[in-house]
A and B are shown apart, each in its own frame.
Chain A
Amino acid sequence: MTLAEMEIERYSRQLVMPEWSGAAQERLGEARVVVVGAGALGAPVCAYLAGAGVGWLEILDSDHVELSNLPRQPLFVEGDVGAAKAEVAAARLAAGNTGVRVEGRRVRVEEDNAAALVDGASVVVDCSDSFATRYAVNDACCARGVALVEAGVLGLDGLVLSVRPGETACYRCAFPVEPPPGSVPSCREAGVLGPVAGLVGSAQALEALKLLTGVGEPLLNRILQIHGRDMTQTIVSVRRRAGCPSCASRPAPTHAVV
């Protein structure tokens, strides 16, 4: 695959970066990324990945657009309230970049369907809003050997972790005990400020681009904590956990190593 004239112009501001290359751009064009959740994290993730030229973007979300989504989900406008998020997001992103194959699927990712949904993806970006989904996505990516970008956001804080299953710490290695339902407030209960989700989602998009192209150093074995209150960041080192039920028994990685 070589870049078409239109693509050279469209992606010129990233192609001109010393760290980037035509080969990196072509790798993006050949990638299939699955985004779990078209919410506050999913909005910037989808916008930047479609914008950057990821070849095939799949957006999974079973919810409908609500009025209370609008402050932090710039993919949606008032007229979308009540419509299926996956479909609205896909239509908007496809309109923004006709060179990207965008598919919106109205599906809730759960333990029993997660593995099939992530299978064959180049990278999965988890933008879900519940611990149950997050662990299910992590386990599915570990089982299928799919690289993953995890994140969470609450109030003024967020965190991001990238995972190469079988090689680096997975989400369950970092957080082995799933919080009992109700023990940690959800963003519905504790709230979240839009730009914080924007920061964290942008970091996730950048991580996905790094994993896909080999440019830069992803947050592997490192959790990035973003503290919106004072704009500081903390890096916490994590390690693979012997006996991790998600990733310890994983065979040699089958995903493409860039």
Chain B
Amino acid sequence: MNDAALDLRGVLCPLNWVRARLALERLEPGQSITLRLDPGEPLDSVPRSAREEGHAVSESGTSVTIVKR
């Protein structure tokens, strides 16, 4: 069950991760957000950035779900 969703297709790095972080900031720990990302660099680096900050991340195609730490 997702608590938020954000379509970040067409948003370049690092602005996509900035927007995801700002959205995460508004969530409580344990809540999740699902992102739609472009393949390539976005799908490569946004999940990595999320994991580096300690969030749980699952990927399914171009869809990435982040559970706030």
Contact surface of A with B, Cβ cutoff 8 Å? 3, 8-9, 12-13, 15-16, 18, 21-23
Contact = CB atoms under 8 A, between A and B. Distances in A.
Given A8-B22, A12-B15, A21-B21, 15 more contacts: A8-B15, A8-B18, A8-B19, A9-B15, A12-B18, A13-B14, A15-B18, A15-B21, A16-B14, A16-B18, A18-B52, A21-B25, A22-B21, A22-B22, A23-B25
Contacts of A16: 14, 17-18, 21
Contacts of B19: 8
Contacts of A23: 25
A8 B25 CA distance: 14
Q: Name B's interface SS.
A: helix
A3 B22 CA distance: 9
B22 A12 contact: no
Contacts of B53: 18
Contacts of B17: 16
Nearest to B22: A22
A18 B21 CA distance: 9
Contacts of A22: 21-22, 25
Most buried by A among B14, B18, B21, B52: B18
A114 B22 CA distance: 39
A12 B17 CA distance: 9
Contacts of B18: 8, 12, 15-16
Contacts of A8: 15, 18-19, 22
Nearest to A23: B25
Contacts of A12: 14-15, 18
Closest 9 CB pairs of A and B: A22-B22, A16-B14, A15-B18, A12-B18, A22-B25, A16-B18, A12-B15, A18-B53, A21-B25
A82 B17 CA distance: 47
Nearest to B17: A16
9 contacts: A3-B22, A8-B18, A8-B22, A13-B14, A15-B21, A15-B22, A16-B21, A22-B21, A22-B25
